[in-house]
A and B are shown apart, each in its own frame.
Chain A
Amino acid sequence: MAATGYALLIVLMPLAGFVVLGLAGRHHLKRSAGWLATALMSVSAAAALLLAWHYFFVQNALGRSLEPAEVFRFRWLSFSPSLYVDMGMHLDGLSVMMLVLVSTVSLLVHLYSVEYLRSEERYTSYFAFLQLFTFSMLGLVVSVNLFQIYFFWELVGVSSYLLIGFHYERPSAVSAAKKAFVVTRFADFGFLIGILIVGFSSTSFDLNTLFQTNCHVDAAREELFLGMSAITWGTLLMFMGGAGKSAMFPLHIWLPDAMEGPTPVSALIHAATMVVAGVFLVARLFPLYEVAWLTADVVTVIGLTSSLLAAIIACTQTDIKRVLAYSTMSQIGLMLFGLGLAAQGASREAGYVGSQFHLFTHGFFKALLFLAAGVVIHRVHSNEVSDMGGLRRTLPLTHLVFLIACLAISGIPPLSGFFSKETILLAAASHPFWYGLALLVSALTAFYMFRLYFLTFWNKPALPKSEPELPTASERLAYGFPLVVLAVATAVNGFIPFGLFVAPDGRPYPVHASAAAWLPPVGAALCGIAVAAWGYARASERPQELARRFGAFYSVAYRKFYIDELYAYITRRIIFGKVGRSAAWTDRQVVDGAVNQAGWLIQQWSLLMKCWQSGRLQGYAFWFFVGAGLLAVVLLLYSPN
């Protein structure tokens, strides 16, 4: 009962906030919207922590197998007696972990936004959208049904659209929001078909049924189409949805543009929570991905490719938020890489636990990075690193927390990123090639993060030290508190025995790694940091020289491998220019032309017949008699006798 209460409290608080703030419009509640939303979120976050405590320590004993629980369920839509959509709340290690992550980060971002968006005219709407997002994300992670996942998946997408396009008077924000929605929608098209395939081949959309009845999964292994089984098709297409939401190559193009949204939004949605939905999806449907032989490979390869690609691009970008966006993409790639390895079966536990652990720690340190970047942007009024530099004196607290987060994401012990990334690499240890690439990603991560760090906080000073970092009390509370809390979480989260909470099948998996396994990643990270320090700690010609050394490769990476241009070509030129235009033309000219032609023909016919209607009485009489005569002749000729 307690669990039900907590769980409902977690999701209903943001929903209530959305309804109240949404109905209030943009003029009412203007002052108090931020605090109201924050208060609701703090209830939600507290309930999430209580629920976690209750679930892990009261309902289950730590170190033993975790029993999934369902606290709530109702019939939302029935297609037929056996196929239905239930809405409910499913609790297991994964969903409880996600609840805690989403609600805490969301709370901190709410608090931060209270101050950050103070001067916005649509302050109330902003918080309404933020609450909608939080509600949808929370609903997503506790799903009991494939269609429930899809339901909240789309709601998450639309709230992301609303928040990216929050500054809708800027055309760039509008087009970024549109791009994000359309790209993820394209991915969701695959997701929806994947749901249909999986649902039908296993005769249920219900997750419990799906996992419990392995016989259906067997049936799903029969060939469906093009030599691949139903389960392979289904999981592949669902992964397409996940890849879209998680900005994986080749569907990643929306994420950098999404940085048009307000910075706290980037921290919450495009770093900590929504973009990891793809990882969550694969983890949630892990039993299916395990039995689909091809999909696991695809997940692994896509994950690692995106990770590497994003890391390379991140090294060349100069917009602080875009660097962070590519870094997010790179880290999510690593998570999916770990999950893919786990689904392949060789390092099942390590890969799964590692990726979820990384998801958890990444959520905190990436949110921290974004919020810290927000403070910086607020101060210098620019996203470009060339406008920054030497800020460590002006913004000491921000500098400190940014450094902690950078060390964590680079994987330097004893910060949290080290432990989680280490576990993923542990899973890859048996594949030398992949392990090598993952190490490369690790080194690149350290390089670009510290490049960013040095360019922002060291290098040549861009601002004179004028005023204190956080002048007012409310800024100290709204900015300082989230930064400090996230920094502490970033520092200590690594010590959580994560494998005991979240593991495949709920069976605890304590991670053990030898010192020998620790050395390569840490070494790679230190190399990356050293190169970054060499190039960027002071203003020098070295970066240009480095770029010149790479020549064409640098410029291609700087242009993001021309993937955006390729998409633009396909959509603008082909879909709009050719297909759309010809469809519209055909409709007006050919189909409607045929209708008008029919009308025209009838008109011609009537013109022809018009001369008969002369208005002359005797003409009419003449034709009348002709007709009567003809009738008489016919009757005479064809009379019965």
Chain B
Amino acid sequence: MDVLNFLLITASGLFFIGVYGFLTRRNLLTMLISAELMLNGAALNLVAFNRYRWPEELDGLFLAVFIVAIAAAEAALLIAIVLRLYRNTRSVDVSDITELKH
């Protein structure tokens, strides 16, 4: 078992922990953190592939940096949304929010 496989397993572990958290947690902030886990799992994948398959390229690293930046922006946006929701509903429990279907 080489390093690449180890990294990939770790990445998928991160990702599926994120998925599990996203699906089961009721708290919006926890779901946000789970989403970050998924993003980071994916980013780790990119970095690992870049390093062990095409070491002379830098595309994967750039993409990972890009994901980090996007994730930061996204987190800022989502926290703002969660705050608005909290102001409106006095709750950050996702099961209280069912207006999406309208």
**CB–CB B98/A618 < 8 A:** no
Q: How far apart sit A616 and B95, CA to CA, in the bound complex (Å)?
A: 7
Q: How far apart sit A617 and B95, CA to CA, in the bound complex (Å)?
A: 8
Q: Chain A, 603-639, contact with B by CB distance < 8 Å: what is the 0/1 string?
A: 0000000000111111011100100000000000000
Q: Which of B12-56 contact A (CB under 8 A)?
A: 19, 22-24, 31
Q: How far apart sit A458 and B9, CA to CA, in the bound complex (Å)?
A: 128
Q: How far apart sit A622 and B25, CA to CA, in the bound complex (Å)?
A: 12
**CB–CB B23/A621 < 8 A:** yes
A295 to chain B, nearest CB (A): 78
Cβ-closest chain A residue relative to B25: A618
Give every chain A residue within 8 A of B99 (Cβ-Cβ): 615
**CB–CB B101/A613 < 8 A:** yes
**CB–CB A618/B94 < 8 A:** yes
The answer to the question of B73 belonging to the interface, with a C-beta cut-off of 8 Å to chain A, is no
Give every chain A residue within 8 A of B97 (Cβ-Cβ): 615, 617
Q: How far apart sit A621 and B20, CA to CA, in the bound complex (Å)?
A: 11
Give every chain A residue within 8 A of B23 (Cβ-Cβ): 618, 621-622, 625
Give every chain A residue within 8 A of B101 (Cβ-Cβ): 613-615
**CB–CB A617/B19 < 8 A:** no
A contact patch SS: helix
B41 to chain A, nearest CB (A): 13
**CB–CB A621/B98 < 8 A:** no
A638 to chain B, nearest CB (A): 21
**CB–CB B98/A616 < 8 A:** yes
Q: Chain B, 66-102, contact with A by CB distance < 8 Å: what is the 0/1 string?
A: 0000000000000000000000000000110111111
Cβ-closest chain B residue relative to A629: B19
Q: Which of A347-388 contact B (CB under 8 A)?
A: none
Q: How far apart sit A614 and B23, CA to CA, in the bound complex (Å)?
A: 15
Give every chain B residue within 8 A of A622 (Cβ-Cβ): 23
A17 to chain B, nearest CB (A): 72
Give every chain A residue within 8 A of B19 (Cβ-Cβ): 625
Q: How far apart sit A2 and B22, CA to CA, in the bound complex (Å)?
A: 105
Give every chain A residue within 8 A of B22 (Cβ-Cβ): 618, 621
Q: How far apart sit A222 and B74, CA to CA, in the bound complex (Å)?
A: 90
A616 CB contact (under 8 Å) in B24, B31, B94: B94
Give every chain A residue within 8 A of B102 (Cβ-Cβ): 615
Q: How far apart sit A616 and B22, CA to CA, in the bound complex (Å)?
A: 12
**CB–CB A615/B94 < 8 A:** no
Give every chain A residue within 8 A of B95 (Cβ-Cβ): 616, 618
Q: How far apart sit A625 and B18, CA to CA, in the bound complex (Å)?
A: 12
Cβ-closest chain A residue relative to B98: A615
Q: How far apart sit A613 and B100, CA to CA, in the bound complex (Å)?
A: 9
A615 CB contact (under 8 Å) in B24, B31, B100: B100
Given contacts A625-B19, A625-B23, contact A620 B94 (CB under 8 A): no
Q: How far apart sit A615 and B100, CA to CA, in the bound complex (Å)?
A: 5
B60 to chain A, nearest CB (A): 20
B93 to chain A, nearest CB (A): 11
Q: How far apart sit A613 and B31, CA to CA, in the bound complex (Å)?
A: 20
Give every chain B residue within 8 A of A617 (Cβ-Cβ): 31, 94, 97, 100
19 more A-B contacts (CB under 8 A) besides A614-B98, A614-B101, A625-B19? A615-B97, A615-B98, A615-B99, A615-B100, A615-B101, A616-B94, A616-B98, A616-B100, A617-B31, A617-B94, A617-B97, A617-B100, A618-B24, A618-B31, A618-B94, A618-B95, A620-B100, A622-B23, A625-B23
14 contacts between A and B (CB under 8 A): A614-B98, A614-B101, A615-B97, A615-B98, A615-B99, A615-B100, A616-B94, A616-B95, A617-B100, A618-B22, A618-B24, A618-B94, A621-B22, A625-B23
What 6 pairs between A and B have smallest CB-CB spacing? A615-B98, A615-B101, A615-B100, A613-B101, A617-B94, A618-B23
